[in-house]
Chains A and B, each alone.
Chain A
Amino acid sequence: MMISGFPLRIKRFFLSRNTVIALMGLVLLFVLVGALVPQSFSTPDQKFHGWKAAHPWLAPVAEALGLHQLYGTPWFVATLALALVSLSLSFVEQFQTAYRRTFGPVARPAGGGLRTDMSEEGIVRVLRLYGYLLASRDGLLRFVKHPWGYWGNSLLHLGIIVTIAAGLFVALTYKRASITLNEGQVHSPEAPWASEEKGLLAGKFVLPGAVRLDRVEAEFWEDGKVRMITSELSFGDGNERERGYSVSVSSKASHKGVAVYQGVEFGDTFYVDFIGPDGRTNSFWIQIKNPQGLRKAIAVENFTLPWVQGRLDAAYHIDAELKSMQSTNPRFFMRFKKFDEIVGPVNMTIGESARLGDYEVRLVKVVKWSSLVFVDMKGMPAVFLGFFIIVSGGFVSYFTPPREVIAEATSGGHFLYWKAARFKEFYAGEYGDITRALEVRDA
């Protein structure tokens, strides 16, 4: 279909090499700025504020231009959109070119051919040795090596288009949330998440059913570092049979379109009773990250409880006897701070009690906890398809550029014309070998 007038000018604008280079340069500039200026969504608060303090003249400018949320700014989105238009038109153009070169009529070359006295059969036989196959016989004989190479650029650009388009779809519609659960704890669909992020067009992330963490199992290396974490879960809503899943790091599970990932954080949850002087018992539980060795402990510091005036610190050893990282008998430590006074630390194993100031504290039970990440992300197959097309197109384009030999019959022989779609000088050696094998002489 011929286009003319304004649409044609638009097409020419987007296909012009200046536009292409300008758009590439702009995208590169945006991404470079995004790498140099901390992004608010991915930079810890402390680091973020530290950067602002270290760049007092740049920080206000960055704030005003929205550089800390660069990938959501209209400028970036508009640039990406324009780049997509250019890529799409470029793909169509390259597709048409590739089709023409593969299936179109063979044009007689302008000149510069070399003459050989070889017969057609001889030429076919020799060229086959060099990977050139007879592609068409339409007055002229056309031999092509790596004919698929004509499609490389269009595939590469198509792959980029598919990846960007699918990636945008994913970015707008994805839902991702994380929670930490104790063994036996149920997270109902309406319960709030520990953290949640979602695309602009995504609604609230609601699980297809309640999820219960049944069991957490960790494997350790000899030095106490984590080797693997596995959680066993059950999904259900009470009206249907529960479905059990097992998730490990790098091994997810899927339930009704929601992917579940094992988080890298886990540890033990300590259920503690505080018995006051009046005999009243208050209970609480605290999650503490798993220590990275038998003699190591990670503390939770300066937390408060409503019935205690002051602050508390808690930590634990994974094994009260300091023998095994797989122990189910941890030693729990706690101390109490009030102004300058520090009481403790006291320590106890399961069922034991200790005196902490005015309180008798008792470690009632210990269960494992684990972090879990839930993802509802549609469009990933298209993203992976885009990846595959990019790799295929790039490989075909750069590793198998097509070369052609055109043979024109003449009295007592043939005129031969050789050309390479790209990197002609790189294949000069091949050209020399072929001409020698075909016993050519100047026309």
Chain B
Amino acid sequence: MGNGYYAIYVGLHWVAVFLYVVATILNVDGFVFNHKRVEKISYAFGVAGLLVHGPAIVYAWAVVGHGPYLTAHEALTSFAWATLSLFLLFIRMYPRLKPASIIVFPSTFLMIALSLFYSPAMYELPPTFRSIWLVFHITFYKITLATNIVALACSVFYVLEKRITAAWFQRLPDPQTADLFAYRFAGFGFIFWAIAMISGSIWAYQSWGRFWGWDPVETWSLVTWLAFGLYLHLRRFFGWKGERAAWLYIGVFAMSLVAMFYTTHLIGSLHTEFFLER
């Protein structure tokens, strides 16, 4: 890849980082200090960031011929884009989720900023990655993360509302609503995670003749899914709600980050065998 390509690609990313930072600052300021107009402008900056960030990803895709899922940089930048764009869709469907922006916006900025700490070098697709099932696998993990971040936001709101009495905290969804949305989005995340795991299994069977090999990545994914299932069963059948459900979800979310980011890129496994050396 020529220097011109990298200049455009990295340049667009830094512009997106700037826009996301401004969006985050304005969003938090607007929400905390009840500046409605500022909060509204923050969304404009967020959308502007997506409009710069998205084409950068598409540009890279067009140049290298594969989606953004081969390297740590690609994974993080595409997760960032997917998280914010799906959040904007969620709040259209469920306007009561809007306050979750004070967690979603910083999460997006952090992911794209972190992606730039990794090499943005582009690599060609290894032969085992040429499968539509891999695309489903990756896509549903991105949808899952977006869903889980919303559930995390609601869980965090619940925990904090019990402890902080500042006036602006009262503008967060009331505890009952936060608890409800945490439960609901945890359920969505559980299903999306299942679909992501299953499509990964199908991809593995198609590529290597083995649908489950207790690979570290596969195993951690199953651990996380079971943990989500445990959370949902405790909520449904043991009436867990409120603070203990919130803390449990925060723990399960942390586990999901290990499964998504740590095992796929840092631990030796069949996945990392086929990730190119950087």
A binds B: yes
Name A's B-contacting residues (CB within 8 A): 17, 20-21, 24-25, 27-28, 31-32, 34-35, 39, 41-42, 44, 47, 71, 167, 170, 176, 221, 223, 225-229, 248-250, 252, 259, 261, 264, 373, 375, 377, 380, 383-384, 387, 390-391, 394-395, 398-399, 423, 425-426
The residue that A250 contacts in the complex, of B127, B222, B233, B268, with Cβ under 8 A, is: B127
**Which residue of chain A lies nearest to B229 when distances are taken between CB atoms in the complex?**
A24
The residue that A34 contacts in the complex, of B219, B227, B274, with Cβ under 8 A, is: B219
A387-B184 in contact (CB<8A): no
Contact residues in A for B87 (Cβ distance below 8 Å): none
**Does B48 touch A at the CB level, under 8 Å?**
no
Assembly CA distance A333 to B128 (angstroms): 30
B127-A248 in contact (CB<8A): yes
Q: A17-B238, A380-B211, A387-B202 are in contact. Are A250 and B188 (CB under 8 A)?
A: no
**Does B195 touch A at the CB level, under 8 Å?**
yes
**Does B194 touch A at the CB level, under 8 Å?**
yes
**Does B198 touch A at the CB level, under 8 Å?**
yes
The residue that A259 contacts in the complex, of B176, B209, B230, with Cβ under 8 A, is: B209
The 7 closest A-B pairs by CB, nearest first: A249-B127, A375-B209, A394-B191, A221-B124, A17-B237, A35-B219, A28-B226
Cβ distance A306 to chain B, nearest Cβ, rounded Å: 35
B208-A20 in contact (CB<8A): no
Cβ distance A122 to chain B, nearest Cβ, rounded Å: 29
Contact residues in B for A41 (Cβ distance below 8 Å): 214
Assembly CA distance A32 to B214 (angstroms): 11
Cβ distance B264 to chain A, nearest Cβ, rounded Å: 13
Name B's A-contacting residues (CB within 8 A): 123-128, 130-131, 176, 180-181, 183-184, 187-188, 190-191, 194-195, 198, 201-202, 205-216, 219-220, 222-223, 226-227, 229-230, 233-234, 237-238, 268, 274, 276
Cβ distance B88 to chain A, nearest Cβ, rounded Å: 20
Given A398-B190, A425-B180: 13 more A-B contacts, CB < 8 Å: A20-B237, A24-B233, A25-B230, A28-B223, A167-B212, A226-B126, A250-B127, A250-B206, A252-B209, A264-B274, A391-B194, A423-B180, A426-B180
Contact residues in B for A24 (Cβ distance below 8 Å): 226, 229-230, 233
**Which residue of chain A lies nearest to B277 when distances are taken between CB atoms in the complex?**
A292
The residue that B207 contacts in the complex, of A21, A27, A44, A250, with Cβ under 8 A, is: A250
B198-A391 in contact (CB<8A): yes
Assembly CA distance A176 to B212 (angstroms): 13
Q: A21-B230, A42-B214, A259-B209 are in contact. Are A264 and B127 (CB under 8 A)?
A: yes
Assembly CA distance A259 to B205 (angstroms): 11
A399-B194 in contact (CB<8A): no
Assembly CA distance A146 to B220 (angstroms): 34
Cβ distance A188 to chain B, nearest Cβ, rounded Å: 21
**Which residue of chain B lies nearest to A390 when distances are taken between CB atoms in the complex?**
B194
A31-B222 in contact (CB<8A): yes
**Which residue of chain B lies nearest to A47 when distances are taken between CB atoms in the complex?**
B268
Assembly CA distance A249 to B130 (angstroms): 8
Cβ distance B66 to chain A, nearest Cβ, rounded Å: 11
B223-A31 in contact (CB<8A): yes
Cβ distance A210 to chain B, nearest Cβ, rounded Å: 20
A395-B191 in contact (CB<8A): yes
